[in-house]
Amino acid sequence: MSDARTPAQIEADIISRREQLAVVLDEIGVRVHPKTIMDDAKAKAAEAVDRTAGRAFVAVNRAVSDVKAQFVAEDGAPRLERVVPVALLAVGVVGLIATSRKRGKS
């Protein structure tokens, strides 16, 4: 079971290994370069922001849908028994704010 390789085969293997090693070293050089590290960090941060913004959008959309369901029937008609009291309350609050500001300026 002797591995009788010729000197030419051994030299060819050495050249091939040297070329493979050069490629690996170039890849490592690119990976550890500060610009590459910064670009990767920026990409991860942007991904995290996008993911967080997406979750926030879903949460807000769900909250808006829940509130809308309280004031609009499934057929799209407003639920007056709920809309009118809230509208009156809003008008009252705005009136109180306006009155207090007029008193404050006098």
**Is 97 contained in some domain?**
yes
**Is 50 contained in some domain?**
no
DSSP-assigned beta bridge partners for residue 78: 72
**Is 86 contained in some domain?**
yes
Whole-angstrom distance, CA of residue 48 vs CA of residue 13: 46
pLDDT for position 103: 79
Give the global pTM: 0.46
Number of domains composing the chain: 1
**Is 12 contained in some domain?**
no
**Is 10 contained in some domain?**
no
* Cα–Cα separations (whole angstroms), residue 81 to 14, 89, 90: 87, 13, 15
Whole-angstrom distance, CA of residue 97 vs CA of residue 105: 12
pLDDT grade, residue 104 (50/70/90)?
confident
pLDDT for position 102: 81
**Is 48 contained in some domain?**
no
* Residue 94: domain span: 79-106
Query: What is the tens place of the pLDDT at every residue in 38-92?
Result: 999 999 999 999 999 999 999 999 999 999 999 998 898 999 998 999 999 999 9
CA atoms within 13 A on the CB side of 47: 6
